[in-house]
Structure 1
Amino acid sequence: MKIEELSEEFDTSVKVSEDGHPQLQSQPNANIPPPADLLTQAMNAISSQYTTTSAQDGTQTPSLPPGIASMRDKTGPEILAELNKSPLFMTELEENDDLEAIRALAYEGTPEEVAAGFKERGNECFAEKKWKDAKEFYTKGIQVLLLEVRKRQRGDSHPLASTSNTDATPAPAGSRENEPPTMDPKEIKNELSILETTLVNRAACHLSLQNYRSATLDCAHALRLNPSNVKAFYRSARALLALNKIAQADDACARGLELDPENAALKAVAQEIIKKNEQETAKQKKEQERVIRKRKEEMMLKTALTARGIKTRKTAQPPEMEDACIALVPDPLSPESSLSFPAVLLYPLHLESDFIKAFNETESLALHLEYILPLPWDQQRVYTPNGVECYMETITGGLVKVGKKVPLLKVLGQGNVEIVDEVVRIFVVPKGRSEEWVAEFKRKKAAEKKT
């Protein structure tokens, strides 16, 4: 065991009470502020390690390093927001030139070389029909070059050079070394050329992946760099044609052919556009004819109903009947055609019903009762063609008896009944209970009018 001798200054530097425990000086607890958040406490703890003498009163006040002093008066959330701007402490990614520069450092070479490398990798994947992988490589190359464009627009120095040479000695004030380095025009031209080509290549990937809108955007950006890029016009025309934007596709194709009249790919697209335009024109013409015919049919039907004195009414919530409707048959446009109505037979005493899709105006109710009755649920066999009475509700809420051998037109043309939501409603009641049901129906209607 090694024993070290304590210096004589030790007992003067440490004062111990008689009971062997260090004496703690009590501090007044008046006006103690409430505890701050953890970040503020940490900042206060650091501030206690740095003191300086005030020039006015000679008191000792906290003095922080410049980096920490800038955050001295900020709250915890504000400090976190500042830290998130630094790539080292980021918890969320945002558009940040410093971050992009650090990403670029992962690849050796100038931005032009890095972007060219990504483009070549993308070309290799594209040749193997790996569209998604090719698109990713093209996107990385575009990001590298767009970072350079943003830097030049602000007049900043080369991002890779400024990031990698962090230990360089600053040049004296007024020296030309402090000025942002001027880019070689040839280097800028090469970068923009690579950016243009990569955008057009990525547009080809979008076409293969059927991302047509993205393809048009990439072609538009490429044409801003070079308005004479024939491939951009070609791929833009193809994407616009796939989006059924025929006029725009035709414009893009025409502009491309102005630059290269013998371009076989553009000629092929031009033929596709012509064919598509013919199809769309025929489709539009057919739709217009359908609309005109429907309008004529509606007008003819309305005229036929008015001429026969048949009243109709629609409610806010008509029933679902698929294609069943009032119509002139066999020719909706012929004045010699007869009217056909959807009809429903209601059995109110048993809460059942039957639907007749087409009840012609010349037909009688007996014609339909013959094949509908007897009913499968009628165990007592009270519903027979000769054993039932039929009624229709009038406009005023009463009832009118319908003769079973009378044509439907004669019943509807009396003017005291109406067709609601294009459906003829007929109540079917056994003769033995018809008077009872009619009285109950009138009683309910009278009660409804009072309320």
Structure 2
Amino acid sequence: MADQDTATKKPMTEEERVALCQKLDRELDEFIDSLEKKRYTEGWPEDRWEEEMDKHPFFMKTAPSGDELSPLAEGLAKLKYDPDENTPLELATNYKEDGNFNFKHKNYRLAILGYTEGIKVKSDDAEINASLYNNRAASHWHLKNYRSALFDSEKALTYNSNHDKARLRAAKSAMEIAMYDKCIEHCEKLLEKTSDKDVLNLLNTAKKRKMLKERDERKKERTIKKNKEQKDAIVKAIIERGIKLSNCEDEDDIDLSKLEPTLPGAHDAIVHIEDGILKWPVLLLYPEYQMTDFIKGCPENVPLANQLEQLFPAPWDEDNKYKLSKINVYYEGYDKMPHVVDAAKNLGDLLVLKYYQLKAGTPAFFVLPRGSVVERRFLESYI
């Protein structure tokens, strides 16, 4: 029976509406009469007047949390928001009024909720829809939601193409999110009807920023293209020289990301090419002292001995044991064995030796005093 009653419910007649209003009036009178009489000075404290106003059925924005609405508040809410008691236009207008109330009090998020509810009504009145979208755009603008402000402003224009406020806000929002073509488009349409200096300045600024943006994009594209060409040249040079990489299965598997040095702070020392010459980061290790030297940009056509000469004498070599004439230089091959090299040869020649395999994009060599106990222990560690 309850389901049947709900299904057959009809809108209130004029007589029923009048009866409801009279009932609400009586309840309000009874409520007022039941109150304890107090002097005005004993009323709301000045610092709580907004809080008290929110409790009044005429002004409350939301129902009291966890409390049942009084018959008075329920009746007022029904009169204002019940779709059976209001046309779509009336509902949209009521929600717009709520949005406007919150907007004026700078409660922009609550205002957005009000305008959104009005939009959901889907009134067939173009003017109220344009106003709802425009006002919601204004709320988004104050919250710096510029993309949403642009969307709502342009939506308002679909209902009223002559809505200058919506068009101006669309232009300003587009400027904020660097959509300069849209900004220019809206400014030019506004200037068809007005010669407002602010709009003209906005247009000129958008055109200038568009030019700068396009210039920066062209510059970025050139840089990307140049970097790609350089990367391709490096990969091509590595393949042509026959340098073996530890983490690459074949030539097609080579890319610069696998050549980045893994040493802390050495990421900017990746191999690069200048005038057709590969320049490598080089790591020199001194097991005796547990010290290292890191060289950035060592040319492949320069002997390794030249780099060592610049490092010796080392400040930590108190016995002066590390000289070109007194050292041996080794690399660890992919056969897991140490191999001595001729430091007088160019770096590029060392990188293509039989067992040499480049690891972490950084050629690494061990430097040890020739014939020393340290060298013997180093070699024995591989046996």
TM exceeds 0.5?
A: yes
Measure the CA separation in 2 of the matches of 1:150 and 1:300.
59
Deviations for 1:70-125, whole angstroms, at most 9, x for unmatched residues? xxxxxxxxxxxxxxxx94663699xxx959939989xxxx99799779969967xx
Verify the 8 A CA contact 2:279 2:297 in the aligned structure 1.
yes
Measure the CA separation in 1 of the matches of 2:120 and 2:211.
46
Residue 267 (structure 1) aligned with residue 243 (structure 2): no
**1:138–1:263 Cα change, 3 Å:** farther
Equivalent position of 2:380 in the other structure: 439
* Larger radius of gyration between Structure 1 and Structure 2: 1
Equivalent position of 1:14 in the other structure: none
- CA-CA distance at 1:212 after TM superposition: 1.3
Q: What SS is found at the alignment partner of 1:366? A: helix
Q: Under a length normalisation based on structure 1, what TM-score does the superposition of the two structures give?
A: 0.53
Query: Letter of the aligned partner of 2:245 in structure 1?
Result: T
Residue 393 (structure 1) aligned with residue 332 (structure 2): yes
- CA-CA distance at 1:288 after TM superposition: 1.6
**1:263–1:139 Cα change, 3 Å:** farther
Equivalent position of 2:292 in the other structure: 353
Query: Letter of the aligned partner of 2:337 in structure 1?
Result: G
Paired residue for 1:324, among 242, 247, 269? Answer: 269
Residue 302 (structure 1) aligned with residue 235 (structure 2): yes
- CA-CA distance at 1:274 after TM superposition: 2.1
- CA-CA distance at 1:226 after TM superposition: 2.5
Equivalent position of 2:77 in the other structure: 101
Residue 428 (structure 1) aligned with residue 361 (structure 2): no
Equivalent position of 2:280 in the other structure: 341
Q: What SS is found at the alignment partner of 1:418? A: coil
**1:88–1:292 Cα change, 3 Å:** closer
Measure the CA separation in 1 of the matches of 2:112 and 2:80.
10
Q: What SS is found at the alignment partner of 2:211? A: helix
**1:100–1:382 Cα change, 3 Å:** farther
Measure the CA separation in 1 of the matches of 2:366 and 2:65.
80
Return 5+ residue gaps in structure 1 as ranges: 1-85, 124-132, 154-184, 444-451
Equivalent position of 2:221 in the other structure: 288
Q: What SS is found at the alignment partner of 2:309? A: helix
- CA-CA distance at 1:389 after TM superposition: 1.1
Measure the CA separation in 2 of the matches of 1:202 and 1:152.
15
Equivalent position of 1:215 in the other structure: 149
Query: Letter of the aligned partner of 1:215 in structure 2?
Result: A
- CA-CA distance at 1:231 after TM superposition: 1.7
Q: What SS is found at the alignment partner of 2:269? A: coil
Measure the CA separation in 2 of the matches of 1:301 and 1:149.
59
**1:381–1:300 Cα change, 3 Å:** same
Q: What SS is found at the alignment partner of 1:319? A: coil
Q: What SS is found at the alignment partner of 1:293? A: helix
Measure the CA separation in 1 of the matches of 2:158 and 2:74.
27
- CA-CA distance at 1:439 after TM superposition: 2.8
Q: How does 1:32-431 map to 2 (within 5 A)?
A: 87=63, 90=66, 101=77, 133=105, 135-136=106-107, 143=114, 200=134, 203-204=137-138, 206-207=140-141, 210-220=144-154, 222-257=156-191, 260=193, 262-314=195-247, 319-320=262-263, 321-329=266-274, 334-335=275-276, 338-378=277-317, 380-431=319-370
- CA-CA distance at 1:340 after TM superposition: 1.5
**1:327–1:283 Cα change, 3 Å:** same
Q: What SS is found at the alignment partner of 1:419? A: coil
Q: Identity of counterpart residues, as a percentage?
A: 22
Deviations for 1:223-262, whole angstroms, at most 9, x for unmatched residues? 355332022111112112211233443444455456x364
How well do the aligned residues superpose, as a CA RMSD in angstroms?
4.4
Query: Letter of the aligned partner of 1:324 in structure 2?
Result: A
**1:137–1:322 Cα change, 3 Å:** closer
- The count of aligned residue pairs is 296
- CA-CA distance at 1:387 after TM superposition: 2.7
**1:324–1:151 Cα change, 3 Å:** closer
Q: Under a length normalisation based on structure 2, what TM-score does the superposition of the two structures give?
A: 0.61
Measure the CA separation in 2 of the matches of 1:436 and 1:113.
90
Higher helix content, 1 or 2: 2
Verify the 8 A CA contact 2:330 2:341 in the aligned structure 1.
yes
Measure the CA separation in 2 of the matches of 1:99 and 1:284.
61
Deviations for 1:195-229, whole angstroms, at most 9, x for unmatched residues? 85686466456546533134224424533553320
